[in-house]
Amino acid sequence: MTSGQWAAPGRVNLIGEHTDYTDGFVLPLALPQRAVATASTRDDGLLRIASEQEPETVETEVAKLAPGAVEGWASYVAGVVWSLREAGHEVGGMDLTIDGNVPLGAGLSSSAALECATALAAVDLYALTIERPTLARIAQRAENDFVCVPCGIMDQSASLLCAEDNLLFLDTRDLSTEQVPFKLAAESLALLVIDTKAPHALVDGEYAARRRTCEEATAVLGLPALRDVTDLDAALAALDDEIMRKRVRHVVTENARVLETVDLLRAGRVRDIGPLMTASHESLRTDFEVTVPELDVAVEAALAAGAYGARMTGGGFGGCVIALIDASADSDVLAAVTRAYGERGFTAPTSFVATASAGAHRLA
Ligand code: GAF
C-alpha cells in the first residue's frame, strides 16, 4: 500500500469572467484555503471516500464508476477517478479522506479544489505521468460529464497551475500560461474578498443558459469561438437577438479588459487596474446579467468606501465580491458593506484578505 497527503486550493478570479468556455483569457489567483486529500491505494478495486465535514462514507467499485453512480459531494472525487480511467490511465482502488476549508457555495471553487486534490493523489499513488494542463482537462471532464456541471477550464487550471505571489494569466484556447507577479502588500494594497452570503449554485440552469447563448452566437457568427471576434461592432450588427448581442459584448470586452489588466500589472501600475475591475462588474451586471442585488450593493459600497475597483468573482448569482483596497482599509470597507446590507435587510457579509497562494502540491 502506498499513501500520502495532497492539497489543492480554491481560487478567486481577478478578472476574465465567463470567458473560459469561449476560448478566452482569465486571471485567477489561488487562495490559501484548500482541500486536502489523505489517500492510500487498495488492492481490492474499491473506492472509499470519506470527509471530515460530511457524515457519510461512500464506497463503490472503481470498475463500475459511471456518471450517476455517485451523487453529492463525493461525486467530485469519484468523477475524477472515472475521468482518469476514461482518459486511459490505470487507477485502481483507493481510500480517500477529504478535509478542507474552502467556503462551500461561495463561488471560491471548493469543487475544483476537491477534484484537483483527488487528481494529484491518484496521479502520485498510481505513478501516472500527466502534465498539469492535461490534468486540469481531466478534472474538468469529471465535473462536466460525471457531476453534470457545464463549467469551463478556469477553476481546475487555477487550482493546479497557480503559484505563490502570482496571478495565473491563462489562455483557455491552448492552456498556455504566464505567471504575473502580484505582491499587493509591497504596494500597501490588499485584495479583499467579501462573501455576500447570497447562495451561489452553478448547477441551476442559468450558467448553462449563458454558455448555450454564447455557443449559439458563435455559430451565427461562423467563428471557431467568441475569442475570434475581431470587430465587435460588426459582430453585434450580425446578430438579431438582443440577448445574444449583450452576451457577446460582455465576452469580447472582458477579454480586452484581461489583456489590459495584464499590461498594467506588467508595468507595475497596480492601482490602475481598479477601473477595469469595476467595468468588468458593470458588464456582468448589465450585459451578462449574472449579478444579484447582494453583489451589486457590495461593489457600490466598497467603491464608496474608497476601493480602487471592485467586482463579483466566479460564476455569479451570489458568491463573492473582490475589492482592491489600501491594505489598512479592510475593516472600513467591510463595515461599509455591512451597513449597506443592514439597510436592505440582507444577511451580514464576511470578508478576508486574499494572498496569492501556491497551487496544488503534495504535503506528505
Ligand atoms: C464558474 C465556472 F466553473 C468557471 O469555469 C467559469 O466559467 C466561471 O464560473 C465564470 O468565469 O466558476
**Tell me: the pLDDT tens digits for 209-233?**
999 999 999 999 999 999 999 999 9
CA–CA separation, 236 vs 278, rounded Å?
23
Q: What is the pLDDT of residue 202?
A: 55
Cell of 326: 489600501
Q: What is the pLDDT of residue 200?
A: 67
**Tell me: the pLDDT tens digits for 70-127?**
999 999 999 999 999 999 999 999 999 999 999 998 999 999 999 999 999 999 999 9
- H runs (alpha helix) in the chain: 74-86, 110-125, 132-141, 154-161, 205-221, 232-237, 242-266, 274-286, 293-304, 330-344
List of domains in the chain: 3-181 (3.30.230.10), 184-354 (3.30.70.890)
- Measured from the CB, is residue 23 less than 6 Å from ligand 1? no
Question: 279-316 burial string, b = 16+ CB within 10 Å, else e?
Answer: bbbbbbbebbebbbebbbbbbbbbbebebbbbbbbbbb
Report the chain's terminal Cα–Cα distance, integer Å.
15
Percent of the chain with pLDDT over 90: 98
pLDDT over threshold 60, residue 32: yes
Q: Give catalytic residue positions.
A: 155
Mapped onto helix, strand or coil, the DSSP state of residue 189 is strand
Closest ligand 1 atom number to CA of residue 207: 9
Closest ligand 1 atom number to CA of residue 111: 3
**Tell me: the pLDDT tens digits for 332-356?**
999 999 999 999 999 999 999 999 9
Strands 93-100 and 46-51: parallel
Does this model's pTM top 0.90? My answer is yes
CA–CA separation, 15 vs 254, rounded Å?
8
Choice from 19, 21, 31, 151 to test ligand 1 binding pocket (greatest atom count within 8 A of CB): 151
Residue owning the nearest CA to atom 9 of ligand 1: 315
Note the ipTM here: 0.99
- Measured from the CB, is residue 154 less than 6 Å from ligand 1? yes
Rounded to 5°, angle at Cα 7 from 56 and 27: 115
- Measured from the CB, is residue 17 less than 6 Å from ligand 1? yes
Percent of the chain with pLDDT over 70: 99
- H runs (alpha helix) in 267-329: 274-286, 293-304
- Phi, psi (rounded to 5 degrees) for 243: -60, -45
- Measured from the CB, is residue 28 less than 6 Å from ligand 1? no
